[in-house]
Amino acid sequence: AAAAAVPPGGSSASASAEGGGKYFSRDRLAKYALGAPRLALVALLALLLPALAPRLGGSGGALAAAGADELLPVSLGGYARSLRWVGHLYIGSVGAAVNVEAMSRAANVAGLAVAAVAVLADDLVMPHACAAYLAKTMAGDLVAGKLDTLEWRAVLAFVGALAAGVVALSGAKEVLAGYGRILAVLALSQAVCELGDARLEHLAFFRHRYSFELSSLLAMLALPGGITPRELAVVQVDLMTCFAYRAANALITAHKRGLFDFRALCGDDLVRGLLFAAFGALRGERVVSVRGAREAFAVLRASADKGDLLERNVASPAWQPVLSLESVDGPLHAALIADFHALVRDLPGLTPANVAAVARRNCEQLLARVKRGGENSRVVADDVARLSLATYVECIFGRAWEEAFEPLLTASWEWRREIAVRGRADARLKDAAVRVLVDDLLRSHAVLWARHGEGWRNPRRYSVLLQPVLLSPAINAGDIAVAIKRAGPHVSLEAAVRRAHPFPILERRVTEDVVLDGKVVVKAPAQVVIFASDLARAAEAAEAAQAGGGAGTAKGPWGGTGIGAGAEPYAWSIFGAGPRSCVGAHLALPLLRELRALYVACEAEVPGGGAFDPECGHRHSGRHNDANWTLAEMAYFATTVGRVLWRGGGFDADAALAAADEDGAHGERGDGAADTRGGEEAACPAA
Q: Beta strands 287-289 and 526-531: pairing type?
A: parallel
Q: What pLDDT was estimated at residue 562?
A: 36
Strand 287-289 relative to strand 505-510, pairing: unpaired
**502 prior amide bond cis, ω within 30:** no
pLDDT of residue 650: 57
In a domain, 462, yes or no: yes
pLDDT at 255: 80
pLDDT value for 3: 35
237 in the same domain as 348: no
| Residue 472 and residue 465 in contact, taking contact as beta carbons nearer than 8 Å | no
What does the alpha-carbon distance between residue 505 and residue 475 come to, in Å, rounded to a whole number? 16
Rounded to whole angstroms, how far apart are CA atoms 171 and 159? Answer: 17
The contacts found for 102-107 with CB under 8 angstroms, 24 or more apart, are: 102/252, 105/150, 105/151
Q: Is residue 495 part of a domain?
A: no
Query: Three-class SS of residue 614?
Result: coil
Residues 123, 234: one domain? yes
Cα separation values, 342 from 335, 345, 451, 464, 653, Å:
11, 5, 11, 10, 21
SS3 24: coil
Residues, the chain, total?
Answer: 687
Q: Which domain holds residue 37?
A: 26-256
The whole-angstrom separation of Cα 192 and Cα 491 is 45
The reply to whether 5 falls in a domain is no
- 129 and 200 in a single domain? The answer is yes
Instruction: Residue 632: name the closest of 266, 321, 381 by CA.
Output: 266
Residues 6+ apart with CB under 8 A from 119: 1, 87, 91, 130, 131, 134, 162
Do 210 and 355 lie in a common domain? no
Contact partners, residue 95, CB within 8 Å, separation at least 6: 1, 2, 3, 4, 115, 241, 245, 248
HEC per residue, 153-209: HHHHHHHHHHHHHHHHHHCHHHHHHHHHHHHHHHHHHHHHHHHHHHHCCCCHHHHCC
Judge if 215 and 363 occupy the same domain: no
CA distance 308 to 291: 20
Of 111, 110, 77, 119, the residue nearest 94 (C-alpha): 111
Is residue 304 a part of any domain in this protein? no
Picking from 651, 624, 642, 656, the residue whose alpha carbon sits closest to that of residue 421 is 642
Specify if 61 maps to a domain: yes
**Do residues 281 and 211 share a domain?**
no
Give the span between the Cα atoms of 431 and 436, in whole angstroms.
Answer: 9
Evaluated on CA atoms 564, 569, 570, 573, the torsion sign reads: negative
CA distance 474 to 481: 11
Structural domain includes residue 516? no
DSSP label at residue 290: B
pLDDT at 654: 56
Q: How many distinct structural domains can be found in the chain?
A: 2
Q: 434 and 486 in one domain?
A: yes
Same domain, 111 and 162: yes
Region class of 577: left (phi > 0), else alpha (psi between -120 and 50), else beta:
beta
Q: Which residues of the chain have pLDDT under 70?
A: 1-23, 57-60, 258-271, 538-571, 648-687
Q: Are residues 44 and 192 in the same domain?
A: yes
Whole-angstrom CA distances from 592 to 391, 533, 604 are: 11, 21, 18
Assess if residue 106 is contained within a domain.
Answer: yes
pLDDT of residue 558: 29
Q: What is the pLDDT of residue 319?
A: 95
Going by C-alpha positions, the residue among 306, 668, 683, 672 that lies closest to residue 460 is 683
Cα(159)–Cα(15) distance, integer angstroms: 30
Q: Are residues 125 and 232 in the same domain?
A: yes
Phi, psi of 65 (to 5 degrees): -85, -10
With respect to residue 529, please indicate whether it lies within any of the assigned structural domains.
no
Are the C-beta atoms of residues 441 and 664 closer than 8 Å to each other? no
Name the residue among 297, 298, 300, 326 with its Cα closest to residue 312.
Answer: 326
Helix, strand, coil percentages, rounded to 5, for the chain = 65, 5, 30
DSSP notation for 550-561: S------TTSS-
In this structure, the answer to whether residues 91 and 156 fall within a common structural domain is yes
Shared domain for 214 and 281, answered yes or no, is no
CB contact burial 189-198 (16+ within 10 A = b; e otherwise): bbbbbbbbbb
